[in-house]
């Protein structure tokens, strides 16, 4: 195997999810490096004629660009009455299929799209599996810019340590596709009650959405390397 193992796992799991898409489907298109492979393979299946009559609902600017690059026709939530499936990545997955998302700052649109799909398929490499949420990844919270300071204070009062996410190759903070900012929150011993925390955080004035996805994932596909060979299993 010449490519790096994480890339191979992401490719394989992305392909496995794309293989589950049926002709005639409306598909939520997630964000991130793993979902990018799913979008690529859906496009390749369309180009080969293996798949027909697909419409995609993108969860971000990135997903929109990739879908156009791979020839996937797009639609919006205004034009459809259901979505058959959504495919998206995650930053952490716990044994109950609860998730942290938002590594790409797209979790608000992702939560809207992913939670509306009949089936939400998560695609991850095995490094994303955790026993407890919040232990390997900070929790992203999207905040309306004028509320950043009071929101960070409110998060501190809840026991979190918030950091404003800064841009890479861009001076200043990361600005989301919705024009907001992202605060990444560390909880010292992880997140004890994720379902409750999801609601408490979203109740702080100025918070648009946080990256806890509770009872949203239906299927979790995990890419792994076993005896040097790539494999995909369902959780």
Q: From the CB of 143, what's the least distance to ligand 5RP, in Å? A: 15
Q: Is 104 in the site for ligand 5RP (CB under 6 A)?
A: yes
Options 44, 69, 92, 110, the catalytic residue: 110
Q: Is the distance from CB of 59 to CB of 109 less than 8 angstroms? A: yes
Q: Is 103 in the site for ligand 5RP (CB under 6 A)?
A: yes
Nearest to 37 by CA among 62, 57, 61, 54: 62
Q: Is 194 in the site for ligand 5RP (CB under 6 A)?
A: no
Binding mask 110-129 for ligand 5RP (x = CB under 6 A): x-------------------
Instruction: Give the residue with the Cβ less far from ligand 5RP, 6 or 74.
Output: 6
Q: From the CB of 110, what's the least distance to ligand 5RP, in Å? A: 6
Q: From the CB of 62, what's the least distance to ligand 5RP, in Å? A: 8
Distance between CA atoms of residues 23 and 233, nearest Å: 23
- Listed in order, strand segments (DSSP E) in the chain are 26-29, 55-58, 83-88, 92-93, 99-100, 117-125, 139-143, 161-164, 181-186, 207-210, 212-213, 219-226, 229-234
Binding mask 74-93 for ligand 5RP (x = CB under 6 A): --------------xxxx--
Q: How far is CA 182 from CA 62, 142, 144, in A?
A: 17, 5, 9
Q: From the CB of 116, what's the least distance to ligand 5RP, in Å? A: 16
Q: How far is CA 23 from CA 20, 46, 50, in A?
A: 10, 9, 8
Q: From the CB of 52, what's the least distance to ligand 5RP, in Å? A: 27
**Residue 110 annotated in active site:** yes
Strand order in the sheet with 212-213: 92-93, 99-100, 212-213
Nearest to 207 by CA among 199, 195, 215: 199
Q: Is 160 in the site for ligand 5RP (CB under 6 A)?
A: no
Q: Is 27 in the site for ligand 5RP (CB under 6 A)?
A: no
Q: Kindly state the number of chain residues that form the binding site for ligand 5RP, as judged by CB under 6 A.
A: 18
- List interacting residues with ligand 5RP (CB under 6 A): 30-35, 88-91, 101-107, 110
């Amino acid at each position: 195997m010449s490519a790096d193992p994480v890339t191979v796992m992401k490719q394989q799991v992305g392909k496995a999810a794309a293989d589950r898409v049926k002709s005639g489907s409306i598909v939520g298109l997630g964000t991130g490096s793993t979902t990018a492979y799913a979008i690529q393979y859906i496009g390749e299946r369309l180009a080969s004629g293996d798949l027909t009559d697909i419409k995609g609902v993108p969860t971000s600017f990135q997903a929109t660009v990739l879908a156009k690059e791979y020839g996937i026709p797009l639609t919006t939530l205004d034009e459809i009455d259901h979505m058959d499936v959504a495919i998206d990545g995650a930053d952490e997955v716990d044994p109950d299929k609860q998730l942290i998302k938002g590594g790409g700052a797209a979790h608000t649109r992702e939560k809207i799209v992913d939670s509306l799909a009949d089936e939400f398929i998560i695609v991850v490499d095995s490094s994303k599996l955790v026993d407890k949420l919040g232990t390997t990844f900070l929790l992203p919270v999207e905040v309306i810019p004028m509320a950043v300071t009071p929101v960070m204070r409110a998060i501190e009062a809840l026991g979190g340590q918030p950091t404003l996410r800064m841009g890479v190759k861009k001076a200043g903070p990361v600005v989301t596709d919705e024009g907001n900012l992202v605060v990444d929150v560390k909880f010292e011993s992880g997140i004890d009650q994720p379902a409750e925390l999801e609601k408490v955080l979203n109740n702080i004035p100025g918070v648009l959405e946080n990256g806890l996805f509770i009872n949203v994932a239906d299927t979790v596909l995990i890419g792994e390397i076993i005896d040097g060979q790539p494999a995909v299993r369902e959780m």
